[in-house]
Amino acid sequence: MILIVNTTTDTSITAEIRELNKDVEIIEAGAMKISNCIGCNYCWLKTPGVCSIHDDYEQILKKIIVADQLWVISDTALGFIDHKGKNIFDRIMPVVTMNLKFKGKQMRHIMRYDKRTDVGIIYTGDADREYLERWNSRAALNFDSNSLGVFPVSEIKEAVSCMY
Amino acid sequence: MHVLIINGSPRVKKFSNTDKIIARFAEGFCENGNTVDVFEVSDRKQWDDIRAAFAVNKDIIIALPLYVECIPGLLLEFLETVDPKNDGTKLSFILQSGFAEGAQLRCGEAYLEKLAGYLGCEYGGTLVKGDNFSIRLTESEDQDRQTVPYRQMGVVFAGKGSFDDEECRKFTGPEEFPLMVRLLIGFVFRTLAKKNFTKASQAWGCDKPLDYRPYGQEN
Ligand SMILES: Cc1cc2nc3c(=O)[nH]c(=O)nc-3n(C[C@H](O)[C@H](O)[C@H](O)COP(=O)(O)O)c2cc1C
């Protein structure tokens, strides 16, 4: 399953994706109530796998754990995805466990589920694309998956060509 | 010298590892009559005051935990509301994280250097160190072992006015561990660390295994 989480309020982006590829599941999160992660660690230590914040992110998390691909559509700020986009990543933490191991030369969390979800970003506005590419690759390492790349909305066709 | 220190952690002050690190750092920094003001981004009620302090201070440190390889969403949300400066302000960072190797923090560090520019500040360097996850789970001497070394970094910052210093670079520790050390730590992860985390979890009232799958075993 290919999951697209649109954290912007511009639904023309998702409409275009849908036109190019019918086989995607889209969540319009732009107007949803999604808190930042508060770092309580409950998802690792108190209620393993369950976030203590019961807001609209819960339905997104339940989809992520069965998705082959996660695409986050985000506005940008300070050269990076904005806080609404970043919160989608910070709140993914319930998919990893507190248990650690070495993967290659670096420490990683042991994953909670069998599914591996590759991650990609589609962004509006100005961002440091080179840095975003680097960051997204690092972020994917944390979920034992791969980066699908980072695309400005002007290159949406290139992004959609990776959705299979 | 007076420094504004902003704790960029989303975790409440009481449980924030960054808070304990800032306290030690400030001990060293204030030794010779220097002063600090400390604010917490986790407390939204402080945001107006932090913005006001950010506007008037010329020496600022943002201390933060690494969150998925970069800055926490909440800190980003706050910084999106800050007016860029362009008045010669020096912005330095204390970046700390859970994983222990220096290499884990480099992607976050690279962003902080750019961030200083976006905020119209001169970059005063970043003090980089991991292996801080368990500060909140420890007390007294065990916690001191992790936090006290930051006192000396406060002394160095007081002398230099930045983290652009050999002693600060060394403070990071190894970029990656050699194979023998990885095997050893890997063994500790599977045994002692696992046991300790399970114990901490039970103390928090958890009756499930740490690798529990709440949304179905088949997933
Ligand atoms: C959502 C989230 C993401 C994190 N991401 C990373 C990471 O990418 N790398 C890492 O080494 N530690 C990571 N950590 C661990 C924190 O950086 C570490 O526990 C830190 O000491 C917390 O400081 P605080 O108590 O002041 O928030 C993460 C923690 C949370 C809650």
For tokens 């962004």, the residue is A123
The alpha carbon of residue B172 is apart from the nearest alpha carbon of chain A, in Å, by: 15
ipTM exceeds 0.85:
yes
Q: Examine the pLDDT at B216 and tell me if it is beyond 90.
A: no
CB-based contact, A116 to chain B, within 8 Å:
no
B11/A38 touch (CB, cutoff 8 Å), yes or no: yes
Sign of CA dihedral B20, B25, B8, A112: negative
CB-based contact, B14 to chain A, within 8 Å:
no
Contact partners, residue B152, CB within 8 Å, separation at least 6? B28, B167
What is the domain range of residue A94? 2-161
Q: Examine the pLDDT at B96 and tell me if it is beyond 80.
A: yes
Given a contact cutoff of 8 angstroms between Cβ atoms, the answer to whether B68 and A142 are in contact is: yes
Map out the domains of chain B as residue ranges: 2-171, 179-216
**CATH number listed for the domain at residues B2-171:** 3.40.50.360
Q: Examine the pLDDT at B97 and tell me if it is beyond 80.
A: yes
**CA-atom Rg of chain A in angstroms:** 15
Phi–psi pair at B85, nearest 5 degrees: -100, -65
**Residues whose beta carbon lies within 6 Å of some atom of ligand 1:** A 37, 39, 90, 93, 142; B 9, 11, 16-18, 65-69, 96-99, 104, 130, 132-133, 136
Q: B196 falls in which pLDDT band (50, 70, 90)?
A: very high
Q: B167 falls in which pLDDT band (50, 70, 90)?
A: very high
Query: Measured in angstroms, how far is the CA atom of residue B133 from the centroid of ligand 1?
Result: 7
Strand partners, B65: B96
- Residue having the nearest C-alpha atom to atom 29 of ligand 1: B67
Token pair for B181: 């050390």
- Comparing C-alpha atoms, which of B133, B166, B172 is closest to residue B149? B172
Given a contact cutoff of 8 angstroms between Cβ atoms, the answer to whether A111 and B211 are in contact is: no
The domain total for chain A is 1
Which of B5, B14, B101, B133 maximizes ligand 1 atoms within 8 Å of its Cβ, making it the mutation to test the pocket?
B133
Taking the C-alpha atoms of residue A85 and residue A30, their distance in angstroms, rounded to an integer, is 10
Which residues of chain A does B209 touch, with a Cβ-Cβ cutoff of 8 Å?
Answer: 48
Taking the C-alpha atoms of residue B219 and residue B214, their distance in angstroms, rounded to an integer, is 9
For tokens 């506007």, the residue is B55
Mean pLDDT of all residues belonging to chain A: 97
Q: B170 falls in which pLDDT band (50, 70, 90)?
A: very high
Given a contact cutoff of 8 angstroms between Cβ atoms, the answer to whether B21 and B150 are in contact is: yes
Token pair for B38: 């400390």
**CA-atom Rg of chain B in angstroms:** 19
For the residues of chain A, what is the DSSP string, one character each?
Answer: -EEEEE-SS-HHHHHHHHHH-SS-EEEE-TTS--PPP----HHHHTSTT--S--STHHHHHHHHTT-SEEEEEE-EETTEE-HHHHHHHHTTGGGEEEEEEEETTEEEEEESSS---EEEEEE-S---HHHHHHHHHHHHHHTT--EEEEEEGGGHHHHHTT--
Contact partners, residue A37, CB within 8 Å, separation at least 6? A87, A90, A91, A93, B10, B67, B72, B73, B74
State pLDDT tens for residues A25-48. Answer: 999 999 999 999 999 999 999 999
CB-based contact, A44 to chain B, within 8 Å:
yes
Q: Give the pLDDT mean for A65-76.
A: 97
Three-class SS state of B144:
helix
State pLDDT tens for residues A109-138. Answer: 999 999 999 999 999 999 999 999 999 999
Taking the C-alpha atoms of residue B130 and residue A106, their distance in angstroms, rounded to an integer, is 12
pTM (2 d.p.): 0.97
Token pair for B17: 């590892």
The alpha carbon of residue A91 is apart from the nearest alpha carbon of chain B, in Å, by: 9
Give the CATH number for residue A84: 3.40.50.360
The pLDDT value recorded for residue B217 is: 65
- Tell me how many degrees the CA angle A104-A107-A110 measures, rounded to the nearest 5: 95
The pLDDT value recorded for residue B218 is: 65
